[in-house]
Amino acid sequence: MLKEKICFIGGGNMARSLIGGLLASDVAADSIYVAEPDETHRQQLQIDFGIHTSAENQAMVSQCEVIVFAVKPQLMKEVVSGLQSVEGKLLISIAAGITSAAIGNWLDADAAIVRSMPNTPALVRSGATGLFANPHVSADQREIAESIMRAVGMTLWVDKEELLDAVTALSGSGPAYLFLVMEAMEQAGIKLGLNPDDARLLTVQTAFGASKLALEIEEDPAVLRERVTSPGGTTEQAVKTLQDQQLEAIFLQALTAARDRARELSEQLGK
C-alpha cells in the first residue's frame, strides 16, 4: 500500500478518478492533498473524499513526496514554473503533449519525472495508461507511479518517450474511435428496423462482451474474429464489406494523424 503523501495539482475529472481509485485501494484520505483554485470544487472534494485541499499549489506541494500534475496542457508551463522547490519529489504528469524535458526546463532542475497517458475509461477504473520515466526516476519511484495509475486500470511502460505519441493515438484517443464505431452500429440497427433503445442496448452489450472476451481469452483478435466468421455466413459478408472498404488502412491513417498531431502539440506547448 502507498504510504507517500500525494499532491494533485488540479481537481478535475481525472484527478477525482485517481483519488477515488486510490481510496478504494486503501490509501488513507489523510495522505492525499489537492491544490484546486475553484472553491466549489475544493468543497466538493472535501465532502466526497475527506482529503486535504487548498487554493495554493505550493502549500500542498511542500507537504508531499509525490506531485501529480492534473491540469490542462496549456496551463502546465505556468503551474510548473510557479513551484519553488521539488527536490527529491516524484513528479507525475498526465498532461498530454508536455515532454519531460519541457517540465525539467521550466523547473530548471534535474527532477524525477514520469509522464503518463491515461484514457477516459479511467473514470470507471477501466483505463489504459502508458508510462515513461526519465533517467532521474528511481526504481522505487517507478513503483509508486505505477501503483497510482494502476488504481484506475492497467499500466504499460514504454522505454522511449516518443512512443507516448503512439500510445496517445492508440489508447489515449482510442475510446473515441470505439464510440464512433458503436454510434455507427447503433444507427445501422435503427435503419434496419430496431427501435433506438434496443439498438443501443445490443450495441453496448456487444462491445462490452467482445472486449471482455478479448481480455480473458489469450488469443489474438484476428483469431477471435475468425472463430465467429463462418464461411458463407452473415458475419463473413459483413467483415468482407468492411475489408473491401479498406478498414485497416483507414485506422492506420487515423492513428497516424493522431500521433502526428500529438507531436505538433508537444512542440507548441513545450516552448
pLDDT in tens, the chain (271 residues): 788 999 999 999 999 999 999 999 999 999 999 999 999 999 999 999 999 999 999 999 999 999 999 999 999 999 999 998 888 999 999 998 899 999 999 998 899 999 999 999 999 999 999 999 999 999 999 999 999 999 999 999 999 999 999 999 999 999 999 999 999 999 999 999 999 999 999 999 999 999 999 999 989 999 999 999 999 999 999 999 999 999 999 999 999 999 999 999 888 887 7
Looking at the structure, do residues 149 and 188 belong to the same domain, yes or no?
A: no
* Contact call for residues 102 and 132 (beta carbons, < 8 A): no
Measured between alpha carbons, how far is residue 140 from residues 44, 70, 145, 265 in Å?
Answer: 32, 22, 9, 31
Regarding whether 154 and 49 lie in a shared domain, the answer is yes
- Same-domain check for residues 129 and 219: no
Q: Residue 247: inside a domain, yes or no?
A: yes
258 found inside a domain = yes
Segments forming the whole domain that contains residue 222: 174-265
How many structural domains is the chain composed of?
A: 2
Residue 76 placed within a domain:
yes
Nearest 10 degrees: Cα torsion 67, 71, 77, 81 = -40
Q: Which residues fall within 8 angstroms of residue 99, CB to CB, at 6 or more apart? A: 115, 161, 266, 270
- Does a structural domain hold residue 198? yes
Cα 110 to the chain's mean position, in Å?
Answer: 25
CATH number of residue 139's parent domain: 3.40.50.720
Q: DSSP code of 233?
A: S
Q: Is residue 1 part of a domain?
A: no
In a domain, 19, yes or no: yes
